[in-house]
Amino acid sequence: MMDRVKKNLTTGLTRVKWIAGFVADRTKAETSVAKLLYESSKIEGKVDDLYREVGKRVMELKSKGGPEEKDVLKDFVVQQALDEIKHLQETVTDYRSEAKNINKLPE
């Protein structure tokens, strides 16, 4: 009878250790995902600011009139902001795909 109790305790402890390890790994993964999503949301805020900046610049060019109004996309400030927006959106996509890959459970 004591052998049986000892065997069941050993089995139970092994399972508890496995569960504790699993929970620790999942917690680490979820923390990493949360950090990545937080960083991506900060970058999206920067993208919104750049959109605002482009809009202001377009309105400035429109109010001036003349040939600058037609060449909005050739304006240096607008081009620079659009390039940065593209780069930041790629970074957000990378962060989100990395978060998605981390979040997958191993089979």
7-24 pLDDT tens trace:
888 998 999 999 999 999
Q: What residue spans define the domains of the chain?
A: 32-103
pLDDT of residue 17: 93
The fraction of the chain above a pLDDT of 70, given in percent, is 93
Please give the DSSP secondary-structure letter assigned to residue 104.
S
CA 62 to CA 50: how far, in whole Å? 18
The conformation of residue 74, written as its DSSP 8-state character, comes to G
